[in-house]
Each structure stands twice: as C-alpha cells, then as structure tokens.
Amino acid sequence: MNNKIVKLEALRGFAAVYVLFHHFRVGEGTATAYFTMQGQVAVILFFILSGFVIFYSCVKTAKLSFRAYFIKRFRRIYGVFLAALLVSYLAACIDARRWMPLNLGSLVLNLTNLQDLDRHPGCWFEGYYGNTPLWSISYEWWFYMLFYPLYRYVPEDRQRAVAVGISLFGLFSYEVFPNQVSIILEYFLCWWTGVEIAKVWLKGEPLGLYRLRHIQYCLLAMIALLSVRVLVKGWSSVGEHPVIELRHYVYCYLLLVCGLIWRRMGWRFFNRTLLPFAAIAPISYAIYVLHYPVVVKYTFSALKNPAFNLALLLFVLCLLAYIVEVQGQKVINRWTDRFLRRPA
C-alpha cells in the first residue's frame, strides 16, 4: 500500500482509539483528561478522511455505476452498523439482567440512518439504546448518497460550488425549520474537504496551503456565517447549538491547515507517534460504533477488580470488532459480490 495511504490508515486508527478514551474519560481531572476531551475533533477527522477515500476509490474505478457504488457503500456501512444495533440491545439487557423491550420504533428509525445527538434542535431521534456515537454514521451515509450524483453528473470545475451550496442550503433551511436533513446538509462541506484534498493529491500536484486555498476560503466563509448565527442567537454551552456547529467547522479548518503544515515539515515525528495506529485501522469502524455500549455506557460490574474488568471489556471489544469488521465483512462481501456483476 502506498505510504501516504498508510498515513491515512494510521490517522483512522488513532481517531477511533481517541474517541474510545474520550468517552471513557481516562484520567478524569488530570492533564490526560484534558488531552482526550476533544472527541468530536476525531469525528470531523473521520469525515475528512472519508471524503478523501471515497473520491480516491471512485476515481480508481472506471465508469462506476450507481448500482455498484450503492452496494459497496451499503455493505460497508450497514454490515457493521447492524451489528452495533444488536450489541447495543444485548448490552442493555446484560446490564439490566433481563430482556429489555426492543423499542421497535427507535430501531426502525435508526435503520433509516437519520439518528443524531439531541444537542441539535430538530433532532428526530438518537442512537439506538443510547449508543450516541451512531450519530455520525447517519451523516456518513447521506454524504455518500450526496457524493455520487455530484461526482458523476456535475462538471468538476463546478463541484466545489455545488458542495458549498448544499451546506449553505442546509444552514439557512435549518434556521427556518430545524430538522435532521438540514443539519446533515450543513455539515457536507466538512466531508467535501477530504474530496478536495484527494483531487489535488491524485493529480500529482503539491499539497500546500496555496493549492488548497479555495476550500479554505469556503470553510472560512462557513465559519463566518456560523459565527454570526452564534452572535444573533447568543452564546450557549460549547457542546450545544448554535456553538457546536461553529466548533466543528473550526475543527475542520484547523485539521486541514495543521495537516498541510505538518506535511510540509515532512510528517516529523509521525512514524513514532501515529503510524503504529495503522494496525487498528482494519477494525477502527467497529471499535467506533461498538465501544460505547461495550465499554462506556454499561459498567458490567460483576467483577470486583475494576482494572481487570476494563481489560476484559477492551479484549471483548477488540474481539467483537475483529469478528464483525474483518471476518464478518468478508462474508458479506462474498455474498453481495454477485449483485455487482452485470447481467449477461
């Protein structure tokens, strides 16, 4: 694998582990806790990496039909996502020591991938049985669905403008009528930032602040508009609307700029600090969607030794992640490959 792509894998693995430690509140009240408190930075990093990878994979696949694109994206998202829904339910049952109601309404609604955090006014419903990290999976899924027609049918020189228009439409329509669809659209430009990086990289052009100045201008424009919204509506908690959306766009801009500066510095210290996390990348998605019910939300305090209890839960988490994302995905791919073949 290209060394530059390995770096992306390392970032993906690191982001998953970071979110895990963020939710577990490691070293609460210490400097360690302060370092791990910015869990949503990792989620925005996931969005950027996802945009890069999806564009990269589509360019490498000539004449990709929507049918093939949909099947590949569906099996990638839903294979692990369905397992996360099941584990969320079983974890709640184990914690309560009884069979919990299925909450079919919540389950069916989560299957539509429109779940979110209740920090956004207009949130229709949350992750199944309190599995809050599932909020970002809904965004990923609909970003995938937005990307294909934009990539396939819009001229390349207009794609960025359309992506900006989608986010602007989401922002202003959300102000008129707060709803789940609009808030997802509002975040699309964060995900599209990864596409812009991939476009420059695949053309063999130097990745630098000047070469990616246009997407920086777009992000700064969104930050300005979101800042005005905060000023008009008033400052709330940093984790609540309208500040949370501004925070996320600031994170996106800083990740882009800091990444470009780090690259210019030759990725100094990267190999010694982040590269080992590439080993986590194959199970990073499963760790992200399974860690909350398995390790964080429910204590499973049958064991009296907290350290051993945590070690056991982390082992179970990694084992589940391997079974679901590595072995399970292989089975799903083999079963669905036949749908990718064109009829004779």
pLDDT range class, residue 1, cuts 50, 70, 90: very low
Question: H or E element: which one contains 128?
Answer: none
Question: Dihedral of the CA atoms 221, 223, 225, 227 (nearest 10)?
Answer: -150
Cα dihedral across residues 126, 130, 136, 139: positive or negative:
negative
Tell me, what's the pLDDT at 343?
57
pLDDT at 303 over 60: no
Residue range 143-169: average pLDDT? Answer: 97
Q: What is the DSSP string of 269-291?
A: THHHHTGGGGGGGGGHHHHHHHH
Q: How many domains does the chain have?
A: 1
Q: What range does the domain containing 166 cover?
A: 3-340
Query: pLDDT tens-digit profile of 99-123?
Result: 999 999 999 999 999 999 988 899 9
Residue range 148-156: average pLDDT? Answer: 95
- Among 133-137, 159-163, 238-242, 324-328, the range scoring the smallest mean pLDDT is 238-242
pLDDT at 300 over 70: no
Query: pLDDT tens-digit profile of 57-89?
Result: 998 876 789 999 999 999 999 999 999 999 999
pLDDT range class, residue 244, cuts 50, 70, 90: very high
Tell me, what's the pLDDT at 297?
75
Tell me, what's the pLDDT at 34?
64
Nearest to 123 by CA among 52, 187, 178: 178
